[in-house]
Amino acid sequence: MSTTTNQPNNGSAIDQYIAAKILDEINRTIPETENKDAIVQKLCKTVKEDIESDIHFQIENLVREIQKERIKEVKRLAKEKEKAAEYFLPRFSLMFRAQHAIMFVSVILLVITGLPVKFHQSDIARLFFSITGGIQVTAFIHRIGAFGLGIVSAIHLFYIVFTKEGRGDFFQFIPTPKDVRDVIMNLKYFFGLSKAKPMFARFSYVEKFDYWAVYWGMVIMLGSGVLLTFETNAMNLLSKELIDIAKEMHSDEALLATLAIVIWHFYNVHFNPKKFPINMSFWTGKIRLDEMIEEHPLELKKLIQENKIDKSKIEKIRQLDKDFFKNVGLE
């Protein structure tokens, strides 16, 4: 009857340690047992499987705990960023917003009452005229809208000529070579040819396009609209061909302006996924700090250089974008 056995010569130090412990326990409790080598090997296998299973279980628990902690940290940082982003900066003055409001109401009236005239043969146009009381009523409302557009044009002219704020805004609306570079840079970014996006000042090339499109539209619409409103008097001074041209200009420019507002302006300002469903800056005159960092970093840089940003917001800027000051050349 065998009373001793040799420990395995191969395997790791842990395997040898387990085998030794099992053999010691066998010798202590059942020393007369035969085939101790087979028993040791079987028990070693069982113990190793149990240990591996337990280690795997512990590792899974540890990984889950680490993931929970990471999620908590991400949520905490996101909450801090969101709180920092809730700081608002001035974007548009009351005068600026008032002009926009008058123009908005006027243009909506003009579009609603003007397009049915252009497409007067359609069923929708006939339904519109029957609901509103006929062409005479819509024509009167249309002229109210035109009067509002004329008033805001005069106000804006006064604003950009006689006020410091207006002159400053006007000069920043003037296109520059940088706008061309920004367009090219943005196209490269959109097509994945560059990782860098252009940095905009107070007004980007998109907003400049909006502004000058309105300028052009006002000249065409108000000029041709005056001729059509006083068509009989205009015929005494101008040829019928010019009046007909004015009608076509007024009609086509109205459709072009409507499409530009609905497709271009509304998307860029309100329907963009980052802004949807509405950008309230036109009403409040303020912009969130994170939006200023993202959309107008050069304007924010200017405000910082002019000491128009308090120290608490400076720290919030660093919290939202640690590379901002480096990117705009302030450090």
Question: pLDDT tens digits, residue range 230-250?
Answer: 988 988 888 889 999 999 999
Higher-pLDDT residue of 37 and 157 is 157
Spatial distance between the Cα atoms of 224 and 248, rounded to a whole number of angstroms: 9
For 82-105, the pLDDT digits (tens) are: 665 568 888 999 999 999 999 999
**pTM score of the predicted model:** 0.71
pLDDT(280) > 70: yes
Q: Assess contact for 287 and 89: CB atoms under 8 A.
A: yes
Which residues face 88 on adjacent strands? 288
For 213-234, the pLDDT digits (tens) are: 988 888 999 999 999 999 889 8
**Which class does domain 92-173+204-295 fall in?**
mainly alpha
Structure confidence at residue 34 (pLDDT): 64
Rounded CA Rg of the chain: 38
Spatial distance between the Cα atoms of 205 and 329, rounded to a whole number of angstroms: 22
Looking only at Cα atoms, what is the longest distance across the chain? 136
Tokens in use for 312?
């608490």
Tokens in use for 224?
């041709």
Spatial distance between the Cα atoms of 148 and 150, rounded to a whole number of angstroms: 5
Amino acid at 142: H
pLDDT(274) > 90: no
Q: Assess contact for 222 and 229: CB atoms under 8 A.
A: no
pLDDT(36) > 90: no
Quick one: pLDDT band at residue 9, thresholds 50, 70, 90?
very low
Amino acid at 285: G
Residues near 271 by Cβ (< 8 Å), separated by ≥ 6? 277
pLDDT(41) > 90: no
Structure confidence at residue 1 (pLDDT): 40
**How does 140-172 read in b/e, with b if 16+ C-beta sit within 10 Å?**
ebbeebbebbbebbebbeebbeeeeebeebeee
Structure confidence at residue 139 (pLDDT): 93
Structure confidence at residue 149 (pLDDT): 94
The average pLDDT across 120-137 equals 91
For 185-195, the pLDDT digits (tens) are: 999 999 999 98
Structure confidence at residue 211 (pLDDT): 93
For 133-151, the pLDDT digits (tens) are: 898 999 999 999 999 999 9
Higher-pLDDT residue of 30 and 279 is 279
- Backbone φ and ψ of 287, nearest 5°: -135, 140
What are the residue boundaries of the structural domains of the chain, listed by start?
Answer: 13-74, 92-173+204-295
The mean pLDDT of the chain is: 86
Give, in order, the Cα–Cα distances in Å from 304 to each of 80, 91, 152, 203, 312: 22, 14, 33, 17, 12
